[in-house]
Structure 1
């Protein structure tokens, strides 16, 4: 063989080792969707079931068989009536236990999600699915036992605390985002994938809410809870036996001490390594924080708003309104994102979305009839798109060996917003109720305008610099 030919055969070739599926959604994506179907519906029905069981348990202890319509306050029930006072006690105690149950999961969950996802950059993504599905399965089994034996409500809180210590549902969401970043290319493909996942979440939550209402009405609490255990068990089996590892070894970060993992999470916003992108990351994180703050507590606020005057809606109307709004938002994610993305960039879609979100809140604030309130889901259709667009832009700027760290910080912000919004907007609603019952929605509209301003400034001053995948040298013999 000639020397020239030998040298040419040994010349290193550059091969792109990105594990994405190119422009097609392969089996890895649909396996993730299958896990999501079982997990989201299970978690959704569990939420409605255990929330209503808590109220049932409190009612049983305080009212002792006395029935009173929850809309009687709106209809002018005599507030000096002892039965009315007992009902108020039920509402307050139920709200207390539900808040305690939520905090028992979200506070330790926020700490776990700040730590564990970053390790997936060096250990692989599978841990981000195995841990949450296992702990959610165990929690729902405990819930079923609590309902069957009618144990004290405190056991519900302890079960949620156990789940939260290991990351809870938030860890799964972090893993889901990193998984998508592993199997898609930056740009249109990743935008579609992330938006479809976010839209699917809204659709599944809508279905689980509707299903839970009828399920509980006809079957009580135990059968829905056992059904949830079965659904999450199927999700767990897919994760253990079918879901592949997507973070290839050549893309993984080196193993490092715990302190270094914490530095990786904040490095995007302070490290010299990202000096040319630091301002872009900071602006997008600020926009994401405010956007998440405006959306994370919306359903609960709307429920309070609709229960009071002038609407005095019963639970059926509230459920239908919530289903309509979530369904239309999910529709935007599943159907409209593809044509929107073919016409506009992510930043333009995010700007338009924040404008529609502000408009939906203004309409809701000034609604004084059922008809006007039913129109709110129309401008709200595009309202959620700003969040997946911001996530997509941040992910596209980030190298493959740092996706876990990026989404660890993003999901932590989601949990922080959930906790903050619960107290902040409930307080604003209570304080301003006597002034103008819709004032809290005008505050939310103002925050949406703030998101709009930050995104416009980003569009004028920054660019999304796509991080190229790692290249691997291959020597032919």
Structure 2
């Protein structure tokens, strides 16, 4: 019997086994949080070090300061020099991020799917090892003040392991192995995303003061030590969660690639393809709006009219991420009592668009500090869409599902920096907030996609048969 795209969506009807959650499984939190913390701090270190090098090469007298904000005469040659520094910094940040995200796209399209066969631990050990090499190299680059081209080489080391995209896939597959589809999985994914944002909050808060008082080398070396601790925990103590009963057979790279796109085109998923497509596109729009937001906000805040130092940039980053993190953890339960997952995602897009519009027209510190208020629910779109998609998917295809999602996310990791930095460089001289209106447009597109999903798809809450295994692993 054929199945229509308009038929009710079944969560999944294949029996699968999950492990009982024990203390060792919570090691996922320090393993992931240490990575996120170190990644954010090194991001701010590298980004601001790039601008420092460019200003030094331009032989500006105050090369150690954050910007040329003390210059008010727009016809002054030095004023134009500082504008050129902003543009060149945006371009080098673009090169830096593309050198990682382009190779990461190809890796994330394949590697996470193999975790359905070889287990989830490979999604932590491989990227952590390559990122540790990158951090060591970046520390040497900063200490010896090597040419900027070496930063691109270091970033590519991270990219060939899939970067943090692979780690995200590992985290969500790890959670899917341990939780029941539906409300429990939604709660765990949302709380994980909230804790992730809180770790980013602490990192953003610390990074500004760390850079201001210690320069660039000490923070970068500290990030290397932090990542080494996460790498050691992952190798020595992190348990495997994939059950043999849920594992798939060894398949070729080509077949593995095919598995990641089957959700959106294969007849096997007839009746669900439209839902998968709308949801993954909603993730795409949300990531295009948010994945490079911190980088473009930093450039925005370094320039006129704000001219913020490192401490204020860190405080703002901390405020926005803390608001989103606490909202995810504290509000998900009451929101779930009132709204469905898709309606929460729709609301998230709406309020996030408002935060971007406010940021675009902010001209005072107060207006900018109000941005985290409408951004409170801004990241829930991604959590809700991932949870719905995971609940629709069988246990032996969770790795392939998150491979398709992380591949889409890695596309955003390449496209968002390219778009954001190019638009910012082109509009900074006449309207430096224009890029935030573009990002608000992505939120509007995601809002529309989810409305279409809500109107055309129905969700039948038939829970699958689940066998729980009591295990020490």
Q: TM-score scaled by structure 1? A: 0.87
After superposition, give the CA deviation of every residue in 1:15-58 in whole Å (9 maximum; x if it has no partner). Answer: 9652244xxx6424421001012211122222222333333334
1:247 aligns with 2:242: yes
Q: Are positions 1:327 and 2:322 aligned together?
A: yes
Paired residues for 1:29-48 under 5 Å: 29-48=25-44
Q: Do 2:196 and 2:325's aligned partners in 1 also have CA atoms closer than 8 Å?
A: yes
**What count of residue pairs does the alignment treat as equivalent?**
455
Q: CA deviation at 1:467?
A: 7.4
Match of 1:52 in 2: 48
- Structure 1 residue runs of 5 or longer lacking an equivalent are 1-14, 473-477
> 1:18 is paired with a residue of what secondary structure?
strand
Measured against aligned partners, the alpha-carbon deviations of 1:158-197 in whole angstroms (never above 9, x if no partner) come to: 1221221121221111111111111111111111111122
Aligned counterparts of 1:94 and 1:430: Cα–Cα separation in 2:
9
The 1:212–1:70 alpha-carbon spacing in structure 2 relative to 1, beyond 3 Å, is closer
Measured at CA, do residues 373 and 364 of structure 1 come closer, stay the same or move farther in structure 2, by a change above 3 Å?
Answer: same
- The 5 Å alignment of 1:167-182 reads 167-182=162-177
How many angstroms apart in 1 are the aligned matches of 2:424 and 2:231? 40
The 5 A counterparts of 1:45-444 are 45-63=41-59, 66-67=62-63, 69-73=65-69, 75-77=71-73, 79-81=75-77, 83-84=78-79, 87-88=82-83, 90-429=85-424, 438-444=433-439
* Offset from partner CA, 1:293-338 (integer Å, 9 cap, x none): 1222323333344445554544443332222111101111222222
1:17, 1:215 → 2: CA distance? 48
Q: Is the 8 A contact 1:115 1:261 kept in 2?
A: yes
Distance across 2 between alignment mates of 1:76 and 1:358: 32
Change (3 A) 1:442 1:56: closer
Q: What secondary structure, in the 3-state scheme, does the structure 2 residue paired with 1:380 have? A: coil
Cα 1:86–1:171 shift into 2, 3 Å: same
1:251-276 deviation per Cα after TM superposition (whole angstroms, max 9, x unaligned) = 01111121111110000011111002
Decide which moves more: 382-391 or 95-104. Answer: 95-104
- Is 2:455 the counterpart of 1:460? yes
1:27 aligns with 2:26: no
**Structure 2 residues not aligned, in runs of 5+:** 1-13, 469-473
Change (3 A) 1:41 1:185: same
Please state how far the C-alpha of 1:134 moved relative to its aligned partner. 0.9
Q: 2:208, 2:315 within 8 Å by CA — same for their partners in 1?
A: no
> Relative to structure 2, which stretch is displaced further, 90-99 or 61-70?
61-70
| Structure with greater contact order relative to length (CA < 8 Å, sep ≥ 6) | 2
CA RMSD of aligned residues (A): 2.8
Q: 1:102 to 1:383 in 2, by over 3 A?
A: same
Q: Which moved more, 1:221-230 or 1:86-95?
A: 86-95
Distance 1:438 1:407, change over 3 A: same
SS in 1 for 2:379: helix
